[in-house]
Structure 1
């Protein structure tokens, strides 16, 4: 098989259809991963996962359509048939139009399976920034951490309607606070670059997702919902009861929390059944 740049192979049975998974997987994330899900699903299913981060920084500034085009081009060049496209959280924003794009050259569009689907928003971007500041709080003084959090809050407040600009402001603040933290941790230049580029790529991934409108495609999808009240369709349900009904074609609800959704055995069995029924 030709080497892949935009995908990594999680499992491969060397034949048959493939399943695509869209997510931003990075070292240190608290949420379960698609690697956890595919392990629990058992053999016989080939899964490729997106590799959005680039240590060369090539993803920074990429548009939403740019991500879709890059991923789709490599899938098409492989010649493999895609039976399903999965997306986790904001990855669902990309997964749905990617499935539609693939359906343009296949006989049948892939099934869409979305895990706690959410759109990128200024609040979610700010929340991700806060998580990073929290990780650095052990080496930042309380005043420095508070200053960083306040700078992020002001950036969110001032850029409510401009995700790319908000992303740039949060990245700037990350570089300032991160510089202090990296000095105190004694990180070398290579490790500093790795952490900075990963965060920048993640911010770019979230910003570009804000350029896509997934709702028409989501209406054809199956949603896998956790029990976390502030995640996925549960958040939509809390904000406007009943409004989530028309967002997807079908919803399967589970007792796992958002961070454990991709690790839950019941979820894995249900998803494996959905995939095998389409094969």
Structure 2
């Protein structure tokens, strides 16, 4: 298809299903699992190049590329932080065509606290190569940033990237690895925080209607009073669950109208 901002997950029909999630790898089931399990005449595209900037401007750019194909958008799906981007994409689609149904899977809001959590969780993967003092100082930094700047996620992200880069420099030195290793790790972490900052600008409603929230076991949507479907599986299995595949297939085949 020659797309820049999207990558193709499946090619089963003319209509498109747009999937919003971080384009990097996941330890849990993701949209590739969903696309492989849904038997419907539609092709799934996954966001590949989020970029940075204002979220609605980015969404318009992503959708303009899709619109240039001349193929209609049948539905828009979002996962985790990507749920707040999916609604923006759906609004952009509705500017020039029929409003698509929107499904949001285990939607979460991006906050100062969630940025801090991602930082400390990511550091845990390198814990064997960091001292307890370094880890404690990093956790204290993250907590302090959230307390001091709860409404300034970009400032928090910049400080977390700076500390992460310094720590990865220590890891590289201890493992006798060259600077390319540090740059790769820091680049990946920076890309993820940039994605989360973009999602932090998003929303959990659309201008033309309300999305449906699909939640795994014990997950609660980030907003109240929403249309929801609960699936009795763990978060890690949500997008590979047969019940979810059937739900999406039914939506795409017109058996469900929400």
Return the TM-score normalized by structure 2: 0.91
| 2:56/2:88 contact within 8 Å kept | no
Match of 1:26 among 3, 24, 27: 24
| 2:205/2:211 contact within 8 Å kept | no
Distance 1:103 1:278, change over 3 A: farther
User: Equivalent residue of 2:253, what SS?
Assistant: helix
User: Equivalent residue of 1:207, what SS?
Assistant: helix
| 1:89/1:232 contact within 8 Å kept | no
| 1:83/1:278 contact within 8 Å kept | no
Match of 1:83 among 58, 70, 74: 74
The answer for the alignment partner of 1:4 in structure 2 is 3
Return the TM-score normalized by structure 1: 0.84
**What does residue range 63-102 of structure 1 map to in structure 2 within 5 Å?**
63-102=54-93
Distance 1:5 1:183, change over 3 A: farther
| 2:91/2:208 contact within 8 Å kept | no
User: Equivalent residue of 1:78, what SS?
Assistant: coil
Instruction: List gaps (5 residues or longer) in structure 1.
Output: 54-58, 237-242
Match of 2:53 among 62, 66, 69: 62
Q: What is the rounded CA distance, in whole Å, between the counterparts of 2:175 and 2:41 in structure 1?
A: 44
| 1:113/1:222 contact within 8 Å kept | yes
Distance 1:147 1:125, change over 3 A: same
Alpha carbon RMSD of aligned pairs, Å?
2.1
Distance 1:120 1:219, change over 3 A: farther
**What does residue range 125-204 of structure 1 map to in structure 2 within 5 Å?**
125-204=115-194
What displacement does 1:193 show?
Answer: 2.8
Q: What is the rounded CA distance, in whole Å, between the counterparts of 2:238 and 2:160 in structure 1?
A: 28
For residues 177-233 of structure 1, what are the alpha-carbon distances to aligned partners after superposition, in whole Å with 9 as ceiling and x for unaligned?
A: 1221233344444443332222111111111222234335595111111113xx441
Distance 1:126 1:185, change over 3 A: same
The answer for the alignment partner of 1:240 in structure 2 is none
Say how many residue pairs are matched: 256
Q: Which runs of 4+ in 1 moved over 6 A?
A: none
For residues 117-170 of structure 1, what are the alpha-carbon distances to aligned partners after superposition, in whole Å with 9 as ceiling and x for unaligned?
A: 222111111111111111110111111111111111111211101111111111
Q: What is the rounded CA distance, in whole Å, between the counterparts of 2:35 and 2:203 in structure 1?
A: 28
